[in-house]
Amino acid sequence: MKFYTTRTSLLFIFSIVMTLSALGNPRSNRSTDEEKKHLFPGTGFLFKNRSPYENDEAKQWFLDALELQKTDEISDALKQFERFTKRRCDLVIKLEDVQVLVGPEALYQAAMIREKQGDWKKAFDHLQLIARAYVRYDFERVANSLMRIAELLATAELPKKWGVIPRLRSGSDDRERLNQIVELSRGPQFAPRALMVLAEISLQDDKDEEAVNALERLVNYYPDHYLSEKAYFKLGEIYKGFVSGPSYDQGSTLNALNYFEDYLILYDQPPRRGPDETISNYQQRIKESAERKKVAQTNKNKMRASLAQSKLEIGRYVENYGKYFLTHWEKLGNKPALQFYNQAITTAPESDAAREAEMRVAELRND
């Protein structure tokens, strides 16, 4: 009993000394920061071993996991597969005449099990590790799974943990996951879709600036992708939502107008069917595109009318109060007011503001 107490006390004192040493030693803090940069956390308690697994033991674990999976012992199979989240494995073996990369394949199987169990966050983490650590593995297979799980996490009802405990959704985590897919994607096959989902989630979370950022990246980096058509329209809609009326700053009105005008010019015809689109999805997009075109034309006219009304109001103000603040007012006469009234007419000739501006121009010229 005395020996046990003494040993416990020594361990306790040792842990305090190690903790204080770490706090006072900048190198120790630096090593902690360096640990965070490692893709694989390593094995071991005091000293982390991050060397790749030995081929023999890795092969045995992998084969055991496959056998357990076949006999429906899923929990035990998952434990074996998830050994490969700790350390790297570059072993390649042949199974049924197919070359298999053991490390990433084990992680992929673990991700699929986690997905079926409803632990989508852990599944996403496993897939992301494959994409970052194993460039030789089938990226398309991983990216498709990443997008599927990211969309589930962002839009579907989260399964309860152990069937009892509710899982809470985090909008910021959802957006971060989609940003990670964009960063990991190699080419236009997955990034545009991730950016569009990111924008839609950001709008749901009232994060308009993040949505604008995602949509602008989509139209600037992937202008030939069919989702750019929808992105242009959404950008116009977002800026239209920022418009406060003709009496306020017209920066958002101009942005919305520019996007709606560009949309109508660039997408007079909807983009062709994408290689990843099914026929039914393509046909549905054509219908939605026709509706967007009608709305864009209406919104373009509204934005022009708002700008014209703004010019009219400025013209009225200059006409009535310009003599109090304009230099050389007597010499200028009605020219400043006429300038704004004419801008109202040319901006939206068919608007009510243009008709009123025409009346003011006629009266001022007759004075």
Write down the pTM of the prediction.
0.68
Tell me, which fold does domain 52-137 have in CATH?
A: 1.25.40
Q: Give whole-number Cα distances, 74 to 64, 108, 154, 160, 245, in Å.
A: 12, 14, 27, 19, 61
Cα separation, 15 vs 168, in Å, equals 36
Instruction: State residue 5's pLDDT score.
Output: 44
Instruction: State residue 1's pLDDT score.
Output: 46
Kind and range of the H or E element at 92? strand 92-95
Helices (H), the chain: 2-24, 26-37, 55-70, 74-81, 102-117, 120-133, 139-155, 171-184, 191-204, 208-221, 227-242, 251-266, 279-325, 329-332, 335-347, 352-366
Instruction: State residue 276's pLDDT score.
Output: 83
Instruction: State residue 160's pLDDT score.
Output: 54
Beta-carbon neighbour count of residue 93 at 10 Å? 15
Instruction: State residue 367's pLDDT score.
Output: 66
Per-residue pLDDT tens digits of the chain, which is 367 residues long: 444 444 444 444 444 434 434 434 443 343 334 434 578 999 988 888 999 999 999 999 999 999 999 999 999 999 999 999 999 999 999 998 899 999 999 999 999 999 999 888 899 999 989 988 898 898 889 988 988 888 888 765 655 554 544 444 556 777 788 878 887 876 677 889 889 888 988 888 888 999 999 999 999 999 999 999 999 999 999 999 998 888 888 899 999 999 999 999 999 999 999 988 899 999 999 999 999 999 999 999 999 999 999 998 888 888 777 767 777 776 777 788 888 888 889 888 888 888 988 888 888 887 6
Q: Are 215 and 228 in contact (CB under 8 A)?
A: no
With CA atoms as reference, report the closest residue to 178 among 220, 150, 140: 150
Tokens of 60: 């045995």
Give me the residues paired with residue 101 across strands: 92
Q: Are 271 and 281 in contact (CB under 8 A)?
A: no
Instruction: State residue 319's pLDDT score.
Output: 78
Query: How do the domains of the chain map onto residue ranges?
Result: 52-137, 138-222
Beta-carbon neighbour count of residue 124 at 10 Å? 24
Q: Are 115 and 77 in contact (CB under 8 A)?
A: no
Q: Write the CB contacts of 231 (distance below 8 Å, at least 6 apart in sequence).
A: 195, 196, 199, 215, 218, 219
CA dihedral 99, 103, 108, 110 (to 10 degrees): 130
With CA atoms as reference, report the closest residue to 128 among 93, 168, 178, 89: 178
